[in-house]
Amino acid sequence: MDTAAPAPGTTPAVALPRRAGIGLRHPHVPAFLGGERPDVAWVEVHSETYLVAGGPRLAALEAIRRDYALSCHGVGLSLGSAAGLDAKHLANLRQLYDRLRPDQISDHLAWTGTGGAYLNDLLPLPLTAETRDVVAVNIAHAQDALGRRLLVENPSLYMPLTLPPGVEAIPEPQFLADLVARTGCGLLLDVNNVVVCAHNLGFDVAAYLADFPLEAVGEIHVAGHRREAFAPWVGPDAGAGGVVLIDDHGSRVSDTVWDLLAGVLARTGPLPVLVEWDMDVPPLEVLLGEAAHAQSLLDGVAPHA
Amino acid sequence: MLEAFQQQMQRALLAAGGGEGGVDLAPGAVAGARLKIYRANVQQSLAEALAAAFPVTLRLMGVPAFRAAALDFVRAHPPARPQLAAYGGGFPVALAPLDTGAADMARLEWAVMEAYFAADAPVLTVEQLAAFPPGDYARLRFVAHPAARVLWLGHDVLPLWRQAQEDETWVPPAPDAVDGEVLVLRPADGIVCVSLPPGAAAAIQSLLNGDMLTQAAEAGLLVEPELDLQAMLHTLLAQGALAGARL
């Protein structure tokens, strides 16, 4: 895994098992450390949660990693930062990844703060040519510093951005395809985020997925979201009746998202599919049940050549 | 444009309620309302990170007072990088002007956090120590275990912290303003807090700094002439406070 990123334009390999995985959350760690191994093909953790010098949390993950394929999913690279990436953070991540040797690493098309601040949220980017240049440089920097190929995830968005007159918006699928072509990165397709954005920003899910560069996808995410009414805040001109979808990863995957996943898999063949559940974490059996459903969809599609 | 947008949006996200500036790329009522979702996410999630790091301090202060202090801290001092396990080291100092007892509880909880995530290291054993010639003991220097830290506290918070670990719903009373010295350690998988006798904190801090055993003894005996150095050393060895020894 210490090889450099592949040259731009080469076909990214899928590094994780083409099966269902789950996000590993603290309440479930004892079950994974116990004698009976939970039946799931791979697990994913948030990289930054394990950026600690030592202690029981990191030791537990190292023990679990010996038995399971591992994906390290970052939330803090801030690939959209105009000011560039934090060299110390990259060095810390490199140390963690060299220790854990994950099968796959990833982060988001987002920014998380500027000027030496981390805001603990994945913030929206104006999708312009300027931003594309910034993100492409940052991805190349990250892949070099981390010594690994990165998957970049499509974001979930709540707020429409209005570009100044004369500045052209690049559609998100095209923007991501450009990043793949320029940096050799792969993509992480979060189907739930597509549903959330389509509702919040008012675009068509089918058209978005038709344009998405699926050949670059090395992993898929599904998760639950919640509906929130912000009617008192939002005026009568509010799109979508003032109801906002929040991707809180705090409930079961919706039927809409499962259907879209099946549609994507029919086009791609089996890919690694992760069920994320971060808030109000349920008993492990519930999460494994969701993963089993994802696996049943995976079992229903034939491998593609 | 991107850099100006990010600076402007960050200012809006860290502003107090009602005081946020606008964001040029987010004009209009809908975008303004949606900006508030991001502001709430940012400030509340960081305040929740503090609540997770300082759970007993929260119970001691009560939710409204803790929440107000946490949000003020978050707006003024957001994390410098994405490591929430390392976020909050400045919070005890920020609490001191508001509530000195809560600030001492927060100092204890932060030491526990630091110890929990400190680097792993082998533990110095009695056998390893016995391998040194007895005549050389006075000149021994120790390597501190990365988790070990000494705290000088102005309130008797340790008994309250201990009871709060036993009973997750118990609401601690205000701590007594009594000086206390505590050694925080991480033997095996857990955290241990040891209440130290007078003088021991000075001696142990000296040892953890890498001073010779005689120097550490002097530092301790200066504070408390009756300090039992042998008992102190026994505690350090038994609880894994030391990672090595050298002459």
Domain-located, residue B28:
yes
Q: What is the pLDDT at residue B18?
A: 66
Q: What percent of chain A has pLDDT over 90?
A: 81
Please state the ipTM of this predicted complex: 0.92
A263-301 in b/e form (b: 16+ CB < 10 A) is ebbeebebbbbbbbbeeebbebeebbebbebbbebbeeb
Judge if B33 and B85 occupy the same domain: yes
Which residues touch A264 (CB under 8 Å, ≥6 apart)?
A: A189, A191, A209, A214, A220
Domain co-membership, B131 together with B187 = yes
pLDDT of A102 strictly over 70: yes
Assign 3-state DSSP to chain A and report helix, strand, coil percentages, each to 5.
40, 15, 45
pLDDT band at residue A2 under the 50/70/90 scheme: very low
B17 and B131 inside one domain = no
Residues B75 and B174 in one domain: no
User: What is the structure's pLDDT at B212?
Assistant: 96
Please check the confidence at residue A234 and state whether its pLDDT lies above 70.
Answer: no
For residue A237, the Cα-to-chain-centroid distance in whole angstroms is 32
Chain A neighbors of B119, CB-CB under 8 A: 53-54
CB B40 within 8 A of CB A230: no
Cβ within 8 Å of residue B233, ≥6 positions away: none
Q: What angle do CA A264, A160, A134 make, to 5 degrees?
A: 80
When the pLDDT of each residue in chain A is averaged and rounded to a whole number, the result is 91
Phi-psi region of A186 (alpha: psi -120 to 50; beta: other; left: phi over 0): beta
Q: Which residue has the tokens 């982060």?
A: A107
Q: Based on the fold, state whether residues B244 and B122 are members of the same structural domain.
A: yes
Statement: residue A238 has pLDDT above 90: no
Residue B12 within a domain? yes
Give the span between the Cα atoms of B168 and A258, in whole angstroms: 39
Give all domains of chain A, ordered by start, each with its CATH number: 20-224+252-299 (3.20.20.150)
Boundary-marking domain end, from B98, B126, B154: B98
Task: Spell out the per-residue pLDDT of chain B, length 247, in tens.
Answer: 999 999 999 999 999 976 667 899 998 888 888 888 899 999 999 999 999 999 999 999 999 999 999 999 999 999 999 999 999 999 999 999 999 999 999 999 999 999 999 999 999 999 999 999 989 999 999 999 999 999 999 999 999 999 999 999 999 999 999 999 999 999 876 899 999 998 999 999 999 999 999 999 999 999 999 999 999 999 999 999 999 999 9
For residue B35 the two structure tokens come to: 């900006």
Q: What is the per-residue pLDDT for A305?
A: 57
Same domain, B208 and B129: yes
Six token digits for residue A109: 């098309």
Confidence of residue A11 (pLDDT cuts 50, 70, 90): very low
- The reply to whether residue B82 touches residue A76, judged by beta carbons under 8 angstroms, is yes
Does pLDDT of A227 surpass 90? no
A159:B38 CB<8 A: yes
Q: What is the pLDDT of residues A23-58, one digit of tens each?
A: 999 999 999 998 789 999 999 999 999 999 999 999
- B134 with B229, same domain: the answer is yes
Interface of A with B in 85-104 (CB under 8 A): 86, 88-89, 92
Residues B9 and B131 in one domain: no
In a domain, B247, yes or no: yes
- Inspect the interface and report whether the beta carbons of B119 and A230 lie closer than 8 Å: no
Q: Flag whether B107 is in a domain.
A: no
Residue B125 lies in domain? 118-247
pLDDT at residue A193 is higher than 60? yes
B202 falls within a domain: yes
pLDDT band per the 50, 70, 90 thresholds, residue A230:
low
Instruction: Report the domain count for chain B.
Output: 2
Position B127, amino acid: E
Asked if residue B207 and residue B94 are part of one domain, the reply reads no
Q: For residue B191, which residues of chain A lie inside 8 Å, CB to CB?
A: none
Closest C-alpha among A83, A139, A76, A77 to residue A115: A83
CB B105 within 8 A of CB B155: yes
Nearest to A212 by CA among A226, A223, A197: A197
B129 and B238, same domain (yes or no):
yes
Minimal C-alpha gap between B196 and chain A (Å)? 24
CA B184/CA A284 separation, integer angstroms: 33
Q: Among B64, B98, B132, identify where a domain stops.
A: B98
A123 phi, psi to nearest 5 deg = -100, 155
Facing A117 at nearest CB: one of B35, B78, B117: B78
Q: Are residues B94 and B154 in the same domain?
A: no
Residue B113 lies inside a defined structural domain of this protein: no
B76 and B189 housed in the same domain: no
Q: What is the CATH number of the domain that holds B186?
A: 3.90.930.50
Q: What is the pLDDT of residue A4?
A: 46
In degrees to the nearest 10, what's the CA dihedral of A175, A177, A181, A187? 110
